[in-house]
Amino acid sequence: MARISMAQAVTALVLSAATLLHVTYAVNYTVGDTTGWTRPSDSTFYTTWVASKTFRIGDFLVFNFATGSHDVAIVTVDAYNSCNVSNTIQVLPTGPVTLSLNTTGEHYYMCTIAGHCAGGQKLAVNVVANTASGPSGSTTPTSAASSSRGLTFAFLIVIVIGLFC
C-alpha cells in the first residue's frame, strides 16, 4: 500500500477542517434590522425584510423590542393569517427575545398587542436544512455551532489522522 506524505496528510486535514467549519456557523438575524420588532409604518415591512434571506437550522431570530410595548407570540399559520391573538402557542413578553430555529418549515410570529398584527407586526420565515454552501444573508455569522457538528468534525479528524499515520 502506498504511503502518503506528511504534506498530503496535512493538506487533506486542513481541507476537511475548512469544509466542516464552513457549515458550522449560525447566523443571528436581528428581525427588522435597525428598525427592530415594532409596528411598522408599512404593513409589508417584515415580508420584505424576510424576502432577501435564507434561514437555516441553527440560525437565530433576535426580536428587539421594549418590554410592555410589544411581545413575540409563536403562532400557527391560521392564527398568523387571521391575527388571532387568542390562539397562540407561546407568548414571550420580555424583550429582547432570541429564538433558535431548530426545525425546517414555516415558522410564524406576531405581536399580540391590540392592532399590531393587523398593522403588519407579524413575521413568517421558512427554515431550510443546512447545506455545504453555508449561511446567507447580510448579517454577521456567529460561532453558535451545534454540538453534533462538533462531534462529527472531531470524529472525521480522528479518521483522517488514522488513515495517514
- On the question of pLDDT at 28 being above 90, the answer is yes
Residue range 94-147, pLDDT digits in tens: 999 999 999 999 999 999 999 999 999 999 999 999 875 444 443 333 334 444
Rounded Cα distance, 133 and 141, in Å: 13
C-alpha count within 13 angstroms, C-beta hemisphere, residue 102: 4
pLDDT at 10: 55
Cell matching residue 48: 420584505
Strand pairing partners for 109? 74, 123
Residue range 59-95, pLDDT digits in tens: 999 999 999 999 999 999 999 999 999 989 999 999 9
pLDDT at 145: 40
**Rg, C-alpha atoms of the chain:** 21
0.85 surpassed by pTM: no
